[in-house]
Amino acid sequence: MKKILVANRGEIAIRVMKTAKKMGIKTVAIFSKADRNAPHVKMADEAVCVGEAPSNQSYLLGDKIIEVAKNLQVDAIHPGYGFLSENADFAEKCEANNIIFIGPKSKAIRMMGNKLAAKDAVKEYDIPMVPGVDEAITDVEKAKIIAAEIGFPILIKAAAGGGGKGMRVVESEADFEFQMNRAIGEATSAFGDGSVFIEKYVSSPRHIEIQVMADAHGNIIHLFERECSIQRRHQKVVEEAPSSVLTPELREKMGEAAVLVAKSCAYLGAGTVEFLLDENLNFYFLEMNTRLQVEHPVTELITGLDLVEMQIQIARGEVLKVKQEDLHIKGHAVELRIYAEDPLNDFLPSVGNLEKYQLPVGEGIRVDNGYEEGMDIPIYYDPMLAKLITYGKNREEAIQLMIEAIAKYEVKGIQTTLPFGAFVMQHQAFQSGNFDTHFVKKYFSAKIIHAQQKQEAEVAALIALQQYLKDQKTLRLPKI
Ligand code: MV4
């Protein structure tokens, strides 16, 4: 594999190219007109403009991207996350054009992309699932009977869904038909597929996911868990590894279950198996994400592995270099996603010019970043600017380092979620590890950040005053 095209932008395109360079592989960037001066373009050995700013006229143009890859004699395409990464048709077209898609086979992508098909595939293995139905509901009356059997509250989910779209909680039978119709409507408009199914609603879960890696020779390993419960409207904000609630026994059980999920779809490459964990530490398989995830760095830090390097080795047909028994968790890593959004204004996108942009540096601090000072933030794409990741010998150390790194991260010109990150890191529920997916809803309001910032301003004023008085004293000293 001599040349890889990275079909993405921002921090993940840079992240992939970094490893490609390390491995002596040439890189090709693609970019839209809005990104012609973006850092990922400068980093690549070659770069090709694939279209207009909107992603459906550039980064999502699979055929065009394959054409570019063929013209430049590219051996493989890395899709990153988002965009074409979970597009089974694109993966198939790559193969048809003799270009390696760095990811699983299209069949696995398709299977895991449909939640019902995924349930069907894993059914043959002993993997715990939330009580519910395993087929699309079509008959409301029949569905009501099933719902009553499962017991309210229940959750209606879209088969083609993910990210919470088309999901409705139903508290009672009286509310069932109305919510079901809304779920079908939402699913139809979002995915063009109105199939929905029912599950028992787990009311206060944690979101724990297991990283898996599978080679083309039948070897599948797991790289432990990531805790991703701190999220806002299905957008993750903070992730960490390991989770502070898993025991070694539970970790092993969940890891084994994740490996079986990968086995059930003949998985290849890096994947993530999502589970819900209830208050009693029962875990349930939710879905499998068939891509490298945003939060993969926390896994890299606690295992010492380069996940992109492993993806590339697997795509080249190599045997996994590490065995399950070789793997051990070392230390603790926390990741904060930094979005160009205003936490004081309902997280509205904050576009503009990055007048000042200085990243924190230091031991245990990693920043996976996609922007630089002076750039305009385009409105067309995901608002995530960077990921700030800290690593320490234990959780307390990683959190403390994160608080310091947030303070050292300098951004002017736009609003970011950095103050929100500081809020999470300093919160007692987060620090104690006692939280679930409702953390943000339960504890956060813009008022709290206002109060925090006012307090910080007061402290700063006091320090300034103290210094002023001290300086005056010094200045008044008579000269000898
Ligand atoms: C659930 C659930 C409770 N019970 N399923 C949200 C997105 C999709 N991946 C699955 N999700 C959920 N499924 C049952 N049976 C709660 C959620 C959920 C959630 C899951 C993970 C992380 C954050 C979440 C926020 C709200 C709801």
What's residue 386's pLDDT?
98
Spatial separation of the C-alpha atoms in residues 309 and 23, rounded to whole Å: 8
Architecture of domain 3-102: 3-Layer(aba) Sandwich (3.40)
Q: Ligand 1: list residues with CB < 6 Å.
A: 130, 155, 162, 164, 199-202, 205, 207, 231, 234, 276, 286-287, 437
* 366 given a catalytic annotation: no
What's residue 477's pLDDT?
66
Spatial separation of the C-alpha atoms in residues 385 and 372, rounded to whole Å: 10
Distance, C-alpha 305 to centroid of its chain:
18
Cα 144 to ligand 1 centre (Å): 21
3-state secondary structure of 60: coil
**131-200 with 206-447: one CATH topology?**
no
What's residue 140's pLDDT?
85
Radius of gyration of the chain from its Cα atoms, rounded to whole angstroms? 24
Spatial separation of the C-alpha atoms in residues 75 and 316, rounded to whole Å: 10
Instruction: Concatenate the DSSP letters of all residues of 364-427 into one string.
Output: TEEEEE---TTPBPPSSS--EEEEEEEEESSHHHHHHHHHHHHHH-EEESS--SHHHHHHHHH-
Termini Cα distance of the chain: 75
Cα 178 to ligand 1 centre (Å): 20
Does residue 198 contact residue 133 with C-beta atoms inside 8 Å? yes
Q: CA of 129: how far to CAs of 112, 115, 134, 255, 257, in Å?
A: 15, 12, 10, 15, 11
Cα 95 to ligand 1 centre (Å): 34
Atom 7 (ligand 1): residue with closest C-alpha? 164
Q: How many Cα neighbours within 13 Å face the side chain of 320?
A: 23
Please tell me the pTM assigned to this model: 0.94
Query: DSSP code of 132?
Result: B
Atom 2 (ligand 1): residue with closest C-alpha? 202
What are the residue ranges spanned by the domains of the chain?
3-102, 131-200, 206-447, 454-480
Q: What is the CATH number of domain 206-447?
A: 3.30.470.20
Does residue 444 contact residue 428 with C-beta atoms inside 8 Å? no
Does residue 59 contact residue 30 with C-beta atoms inside 8 Å? yes
Atom 22 (ligand 1): residue with closest C-alpha? 207
Atom of ligand 1 minimally distant from the CA of 203? 3
Does residue 437 contact residue 229 with C-beta atoms inside 8 Å? yes
Spatial separation of the C-alpha atoms in residues 393 and 152, rounded to whole Å: 43
Spatial separation of the C-alpha atoms in residues 50 and 32, rounded to whole Å: 6
Does residue 209 contact residue 291 with C-beta atoms inside 8 Å? no
Q: What is the CATH number of domain 131-200?
A: 3.30.1490.20
With tokens 């890696």, the residue in question is 213
Encoded tokens for 154: 């229940």
Atom of ligand 1 minimally distant from the CA of 200? 15
Cα 164 to ligand 1 centre (Å): 7
Considering 15, 168, 206, 291, which one is annotated as catalytic?
Answer: 291
Atom of ligand 1 minimally distant from the CA of 228? 22
Pocket of ligand 1, candidates 152, 191, 234: which has the most ligand atoms within 8 Å of its Cβ, to mutate?
234
Encoded tokens for 70: 């063929």
Spatial separation of the C-alpha atoms in residues 442 and 221, rounded to whole Å: 36
3-state secondary structure of 127: coil
Query: DSSP code of 174?
Result: G
Atom of ligand 1 minimally distant from the CA of 130? 15
Cα 30 to ligand 1 centre (Å): 34
> Which backbone phi and psi does 15 adopt, to 5 degrees?
-60, -45
Spatial separation of the C-alpha atoms in residues 47 and 25, rounded to whole Å: 15
> Residue-wise pLDDT tens for the chain (480 aa)?
999 999 999 999 999 999 999 999 999 999 999 999 999 999 999 999 999 999 999 999 999 999 999 999 999 999 999 999 999 999 999 999 999 999 999 999 999 999 999 999 999 999 999 999 988 988 888 889 999 999 999 999 999 887 778 799 999 999 999 999 999 999 999 888 889 999 999 999 999 999 999 999 999 999 999 999 999 999 999 999 999 999 999 999 999 999 999 999 999 999 999 999 999 999 999 999 999 999 999 999 999 999 999 999 999 999 999 999 999 999 999 999 999 999 999 999 999 999 999 999 999 999 999 999 999 999 999 999 999 999 999 999 999 999 999 999 999 999 999 999 999 999 999 999 999 999 999 999 988 888 878 888 888 888 999 998 888 887 776 656
Distance, C-alpha 52 to centroid of its chain:
26
